Chains A and B, each alone.
Chain A
Amino acid sequence: MKLTGAQIVCESLLKEGVEVIFGFPGGAILPFYDTLPQYPQLRHILVRHEQGAAHAADGYARATGRAGICCATSGPGATNLVTGIANAQLDSSPVIAITGQVARPFIGKDAFQEVDITGITLPITKHNYLVLSAAELATVFKEAFYIATTGRQGPVLIDIPRDVFVEQADFHYPAKVDLPGYKTILRGHPAQIKKATQLINQATCPVIISGRGVILSQAYDELRELAEKAQIPVVTTLLGVSSFPENHMLSLGMMGMHGTAYANMAVDSADLVIAIGMRFDDRATARVSGFAPKARIIHIDIDPAEIGKNVTVDIPIVGDVKNVLRELNKQVVSQTRVDWIRQLETWRQEHPSTTIREGEELIPQYVIHSIYEVTDGNAIIVTGVGQNQMWAAQHFCYKKPNSFISAGGLGTMGFELPAAIGVKVGCPEETVWCIAGDGGFQMTIQELATVVQERTAIKIAIINNGYLGMVRQWQELFYQRRYVATPLMGPDFVKIAEAYGIPGLRVKTRREVVPAIQKAMEEQGPFLLDFMVEPEENVYPMVPPGATLAEIIEGPKKEAVAPSTSFTVSNV
């Protein structure tokens, strides 16, 4: 039976179990949109900017573990997806981006709304396709989904010329892919696992660093078993937050540039670091030459290219985290580590990193903590980027697996609102809180219309300090308080929400915080809270650029810290 290219695309999406597409139409992709009504099982969610579609697909993918789909037209539609695709690439999120392209005879002629989107996205996609005939479409989609969702997951872009959508071809969805150049190693090498087991059994002060790979692999139980069996404390990277329950006695919280002091001290003093599904990003390691100076390192990761990229490791194990941990758990010896655990507990008491100071002022840490208290941790937190992101990571106790969704690798401001929409669409039964800064929120504020049109009942908390907060903090600490381009005027967010049809409240004092959050939770639909917080509050602890994890600054000093001499060499 002959189908049009557009029908083949829809059939392929159905074969892959797709239920939702986030998109924005246009000329080149119009034939696809015209076909959608024939497939009512495919729900299309109209955004207000294509960047919103990409971030929504990313949020959906992170929350559900399935591929997130976004689509846009050619030219500016496609280029508006680029930031979102790069964001998905850096955090290994399975996103499929479908873009319309000008008709085949017009390609390469600077036609109306034509861009070389496959060329542009080469470095930021796991793979991409320009489909030049309808007959290839089914195979391309089969491959694209396979590539996006297996191994180290990542975004795949499929560029389809307008006349290919219209062209007819036989539809046959392949049962298997034929990709001789794509192999993933899922099982760790037994000899490496054995060596790792020996190191773990012999270590006196080991620590586990858990990253996004644990969440991607859904290896929560296996991680917990390893930690409990061998009594190894667990710290997480930013993207590993919610991979291990933070109310567990072995949890030391987040490590890295804004991690807890005691988590960083643990890594700094350990004789064995077990890095699971993390890639030694510079935000986590701080100055690499000073990272875990006393420790041997076991590195478990599904991507062989990450082994040895930033840090030389002793025992690399390439494989899917869940499989490797299962094997390790069979061989690792059960033991107690009373002295080490006691030392860590002492450090936790002596260097409290998450206490919130008493007082009248409305501080952001108190807002985050209150959201935790009211929800009892029963929520998915989707954050923006900057100070709001760090406070959200620090002051909420993440007990549920995969309850923290944040743009870590690319650090894209504006991720929060569309991603929260994607998360809620994927997990409609969950409470979803979007934590935004006033700067980032203005970058994708137009998606408030999507919230209303799609009736996604997300709760929005704006940490409003009138500044580009994290940049201002750096300017205060390292640039002698020269606040260039950081004081940020914003609108009356409650009025804006109201204009879109979303109820909201402004909160100006500490006393009003909890009742406001409760009001938001009682509301059936979406709700926006504008928290007017202390404008010059800083995120602590902080490891300044160029410093090692041991040189963590735990609280505000009277004077600005002098820039470290290796400032220019480190990644700022």
Chain B
Amino acid sequence: MNPTKHTLVALVSDRPGVLNRVASLFRRRGFNIESIAVGHTEQEGVSRMTIVVSGNSATVEQVRKQLDKVIDVIKLSDITQENIVDRELALIKVKTTPATRSEIIQIVDIFRANIVDVAPDSLIVEVTGDEDKISSLLNLLHSFGVKEIARTGRLAMTRGMPSSASG
């Protein structure tokens, strides 16, 4: 069984320490978190966590069940196999020289990304997209020298279905 990446969406009660509880659970059970993104939802008192976990299917099954046991976790879905929209935002600070600047700008345009900061020897690229898009852009920018990267981690939502908080 090869380790694969699974995307879990957890709706949690917005009580103090809930992020800690979830993260603590992962550490204690030895599960590998690739990323967590948390934020409020359309329902008051409910937050949404999007967690990318890697492991084989037996491991991920245990992750799901152990997370379900956490009292503050209201609903948990593994949406890896479903029809989803997945997005991430990244800020990338790239080294620039007068010679390389226009080429970098062209690449940024092709990816429909934005330049949000310009300095004499660097600029910051803001890009939103799925994992493939961000990886491709990063690969291209690496050859120019990437000074700093900040990523939010994956956000995901199933297509066309009613809000999972009320479902």
Contacts and interface: CB of A to CB of B under 8 A. Distances in A.
A180 interface: yes
A359 interface: no
Contacts of A122: 20-21, 24
A307 B75 CA distance: 19
A305 B62 contact: yes
Contact of A309 (B16, B24, B62, B75): B62
Contact of B73 (A181, A304, A305, A308): A181
A123 B16 contact: no
A108 interface: no
B28 interface: yes
A147 B28 contact: no
B74 A304 contact: no
Interface size class of A (residues with CB under 8 A): 10 to 19
B69 A180 contact: no
Contacts, number: 39
Given A304-B65, A305-B65, A181 B21 contact: no
B20 A304 contact: no
Given A122-B21, A130-B16, A181 B74 contact: yes
Interface string B55-77: 00010011001101111111100
B16 A305 contact: no
A307 B24 CA distance: 22
Contacts of B61: 308
Interface string A279-320: 000000000000000000000000111011100000000000
A127 interface: yes
**Interface SS, B side:** helix
B120 to A, nearest CB: 43
A305 B68 contact: yes
Contacts of A485: none
B39 to A, nearest CB: 18
A179 interface: yes
B28 A123 contact: yes
B12 interface: yes
B20 to A, nearest CB: 7
Contacts of B74: 180-181
Contacts of B71: 126-127, 147, 179, 181-182
A180 B28 contact: no
B65 to A, nearest CB: 4
A179 B24 CA distance: 21
A126 B66 CA distance: 12
A119 B19 CA distance: 12
**Interface residues on chain B, size class:** 20 to 34
A378 interface: no
A283 B147 CA distance: 53
Contacts of B65: 304-305, 307, 309
A217 interface: no
A290 B68 CA distance: 30
Nearest to A307: B65
Contacts of B20: 119, 122
A475 interface: no
B17 interface: yes
A303 B17 CA distance: 24
B72 A181 contact: yes
B70 A181 contact: yes
Contacts of A119: 20
Nearest to B70: A181
A304 B24 contact: no
B166 to A, nearest CB: 12
B128 interface: no
Nearest to B17: A118
A90 to B, nearest CB: 13
Given A147-B71, A305-B65, A181 B24 contact: no
A309 B66 CA distance: 10
A304 B76 CA distance: 14
Interface in A52-66: none
Nearest to A306: B65
Contacts of A130: 16-17
B13 interface: yes
Nearest to B76: A181
A127 B71 CA distance: 7
A130 B17 CA distance: 10
B12 A181 contact: yes
Contacts of A308: 58, 61-62
A179 to B, nearest CB: 6
B155 to A, nearest CB: 21
Contacts of B13: 180-181
A196 B62 CA distance: 23
Nearest to B13: A181
Nearest to B45: A180
The 5 closest A-B pairs by CB, nearest first: A305-B65, A181-B74, A127-B71, A180-B74, A123-B28
Given A147-B71, A181-B70, 12 more contacts: A122-B20, A122-B21, A123-B24, A130-B16, A180-B13, A180-B74, A181-B13, A181-B74, A305-B62, A308-B58, A309-B62, A309-B65
21 contacts: A119-B20, A122-B20, A122-B21, A123-B25, A123-B28, A126-B71, A127-B71, A147-B71, A181-B13, A181-B70, A181-B72, A181-B74, A182-B71, A305-B62, A305-B65, A305-B68, A305-B69, A308-B58, A308-B61, A308-B62, A309-B62
